[in-house]
Amino acid sequence: MPHPTQVVALLKSQQIKHVRLYNADRGMLLALANTGIKVAISVPNEQLLGIGQSNATAANWVSQNVVAHYPSTNITTICVGSEVLTSLPNAAPILVNALRFIHSALVASNLDRQIKVSTPLPSSIILDPFPPSQAFFNHSLNRVLVPMLSFLQSTGSSFMLNVYPYYDYMQSNGVIPLDYALFKPLPANREVVDANTLLHYTNVFDAVIDAAYFAMASLNFTNIPVLVTESGWPSKGDSKEPDATLENANTYNSNLIRHVLNHTGTPKHPGIAVSTYIYELYNEDTRPGPLSEKNWGLFDANGAPIYVLHITDAGSVLANDTTNQTYCAAKDGADVKLLQAALDWACGPGKVDCSQLAQGQPCYEPDTVAEHATYAFDAYYKMNGKDPEACDFKGVAAITTSNPSKPNS
């Protein structure tokens, strides 16, 4: 991961107002202080058993990770565990206790109104999701889900769901059309109609959300909103994942952002936007598993966008051309001889116009190899369409989201 201050700089440059952390990392929480960014923090699964078995442990966790940072860090949400019912089934019996204990600690600190508590669940716990009106939860989980839904309802919290049309599409063996998974417009005769409600579905995402609403209704809970804690599409895959491509990832996330911001809602709840976190900010190049697991990010570790989102009329959310906010600069601490060689190449064979760097010209000062190299590197990077490969210079340059230029240059 980049340093927390770099992460926050990227969030601010992209005007991202909400972020979800998979832990409660102190460095990240300190870096997010006084930014106004709304933060969802998480109790990692490995800490869940302790918290679910001890009120005191939960109170201590809230004291260290919430009270110590709030309100300068705008913590709004606590995710207790992640997909616990399927990834850590032995913790299922204490999951609701963990929610209650964390909530009790917030009540004791007078923060329960400001900070909501819930637990992200996988959409796989919904059986028979189509048509949505027939959906129900895996019955073996009801002994956990009923008290959990009761807790969410009584505390005004959301039902957190991870929604991945990519996997629904991959596992459907051709039954789900790719366009239906990607939110692409469908001709009316290809829209999917729920025969029980006569509601028309034009994408997998809405169908899964409504399936969750119907599944909750089958347990007599009808007023708990769904919050999507993860959704996205991988931009690269191996030979078994031919639809994990840059273009499909771009299409899915661009359409998802537009769909949420337009307050389209779902067929069952039109006009009520489904708040959604995009998975994820950065690619994870050391993550195990298939190639797609490493490639869900919107940005690489240097903060360079993996692709430019196709968004119009979406205001400043991930500005339509994110590449406008990347630059190429000399790396801190790079060897001066290597920098000079790269500078000479950029101003010679690289065809960069370096006349502004001559003595007496606007960009001569500060007269250091690093500053002059950054000028030349960034010019070359722009000349080449901000192709990431145009910012390497044998390892002495890196892409950055901080504008390196001085006002007079």
Backbone angles phi, psi at 313, to 5 degrees: 60, 25
Give the residue from 65, 83, 80, 58 showing the smallest Cα distance to 25: 65
Determine how many CB atoms are found less than 10 A away from the CB of residue 43. Answer: 28
Q: Is 191 a catalytic residue?
A: no
- Options 46, 83, 280, 365, the catalytic residue: 83
Identify residue 347 by its one-letter amino acid code.
Answer: C
- Options 46, 191, 230, 389, the catalytic residue: 230
CA torsion through residues 366, 303, 115, 266, sign: positive
CA distance 169 to 181: 6
Take residue 274 and report the two structure tokens written for it.
């489904």
Give the residue from 302, 323, 286 showing the smallest Cα distance to 397: 302
10, 11, 16, 19: CA torsion to nearest 10: 140
Which helix (H) or strand (E) segment is 84 a member of? helix 84-87
Q: Is 293 a catalytic residue?
A: no
CA distance 167 to 165: 5
Determine how many CB atoms are found less than 10 A away from the CB of residue 172. Answer: 13
Task: List, by residue number, the catalytic residues.
Answer: 83, 230
